Amino acid sequence: MQIRDAVIVVTGGASGIGRAMARRFAADGAGSVIVADLNAEGATTVADELAAAGVGSRGVGLDVTDPDAVAAFIDASEAEFGPIDLWCGNAGIGANGGVELADEIWDANWNVNVMAHVIASRILVPHWIERGGGHLLLTASAAGLLTNLGTAPYAVTKHACVGLAEWIAITYGEKGVGVSCLCPQGVRTPMTEADGELAIEVVKAMGMIEPEDVADAVATGLANDDFLILPHPEVSTYEQRRAGDRGRWITGMQKLRATLPGA
């Protein structure tokens, strides 16, 4: 995936990883970077920054779980900037707790962390097949390869996100559709600012990196056409250990959980 001159969309782009990716794409010579977020004001602020640097940009308030809104957004973006080359599905949410959480919370996590990608892919994948190319970057999490203590909806839906990315890559890869799945561990973003919550304490204990570090890893991964983009390289080792002996992995995670605040 070549960033230079590409038309790129970043959802969840008002802050954190999304904002860092938008800035990095602009610095790497993207033709246009469209910033979408439920926080319309934040998206506009980032887009104005990119436009001031000479990059075509627009900030849009967008609910990624609304099929009609997403379709209208894609149509408007392509009418203004041209065909979308790279869609970064980065919007995501979490929830502290487990199976006791209400259905509405589980549904919200499912809709944002999984169905939003399905909604966008329904539109973009046929376009890319017809045009002969396009790239999908889905922000999952190391939680989608391993797990995340303290937040069942997040861990479960991020596993589903990884599974969806794999399925799209397998099904449409030979038709010109590139897919990358971003799986960071702890990143210093608004989502990880709270103290005392088990899910947050886990990622803090494992070491936090900055959103700009993630954006650097994304730039390298896209240039290499990597499927898995791992800003924390140790996640690959953890995943292999988990697959090699699932029972031992679960026992180890139980012991880790017992040592953390909030357990």
What is the per-residue pLDDT for 198? 56
* Closest C-alpha among 262, 39, 57, 19 to residue 139: 19
pLDDT beyond 80 at 165: yes
What is the per-residue pLDDT for 191? 63
- Residue 148 maps to which CATH number? 3.40.50.720
Least confident of 69-78, 80-89, 140-149, 199-208: 199-208
What is the per-residue pLDDT for 224? 97
Q: How far apart are CA 7 and CA 87, in angstroms?
A: 9
pLDDT beyond 60 at 195: no
For the entire predicted model, the pTM comes to 0.92
What is the per-residue pLDDT for 257? 83
Domain assignment present for 2? no
Domain assignment present for 126? yes
What is the percentage of the chain residues whose pLDDT exceeds 90?
85
Domain that holds residue 167: 7-259
Domain assignment present for 1? no
Number of domains present in the structure of the chain: 1
Strands 186-187 vs 134-139: parallel, antiparallel or unpaired: unpaired
User: What's the whole-number mean pLDDT along residues 206-234?
Assistant: 93
Q: How far apart are CA 252 and CA 125, in angstroms?
A: 40
Return the half-sphere exposure (C-beta side, CA atoms, 13 A cut-off) of residue 12: 25
Burial of 67 (0-12, 13-18, 19+ CB in 10 A): middle
Domain assignment present for 116? yes
The label of the residue with tokens 């791992």 reads 230
Domain assignment present for 135? yes
User: What's the whole-number mean pLDDT along residues 126-141?
Assistant: 97
* Burial state string for 224-249 with b = 16 or more CB within 10 A and e = fewer than 16: eebebbbbbeebeebbeebeeeeeeb
Radius of gyration of the chain (CA): 18
What is the per-residue pLDDT for 15? 95
Confidence of residue 21 (pLDDT cuts 50, 70, 90): very high
Using CA atoms of 91, 97, 103, 105 in order, give the dihedral in degrees to the nearest 10: -30
pLDDT beyond 70 at 64: yes
| Average pLDDT over all residues of the chain | 93
What is the per-residue pLDDT for 75? 98
* Closest C-alpha among 1, 4, 58, 59 to residue 31: 4
Domain assignment present for 224? yes
Q: What is the pLDDT of residues 70-122, one digit of tens each?
A: 999 999 999 999 999 999 999 999 999 999 999 999 999 999 999 999 999 99
What is the per-residue pLDDT for 209? 85
What is the percentage of the chain residues whose pLDDT exceeds 70?
92
User: What's the whole-number mean pLDDT along residues 44-72?
Assistant: 98
* Closest C-alpha among 27, 45, 16, 3 to residue 35: 45
The label of the residue with tokens 């180890």 reads 252
Joined together, the tokens standing for residue 51 give 């436009």
Is there a catalytic annotation at residue 154? yes
pLDDT beyond 80 at 189: no
What is the per-residue pLDDT for 38? 97
What is the per-residue pLDDT for 202? 62
What is the per-residue pLDDT for 150? 87
Joined together, the tokens standing for residue 166 give 């794999």
Contact 175, 197 (CB under 8 A): no
User: What's the whole-number mean pLDDT along residues 215-243?
Assistant: 96
Joined together, the tokens standing for residue 153 give 């909806």
Q: Which of 154, 172, 180, 211 is labelled catalytic?
A: 154
Domain assignment present for 167? yes
**Greatest distance between any 2 Cα atoms in the chain:** 54
User: What's the whole-number mean pLDDT along residues 64-72?
Assistant: 98
pLDDT beyond 90 at 166: yes
Domain assignment present for 29? yes
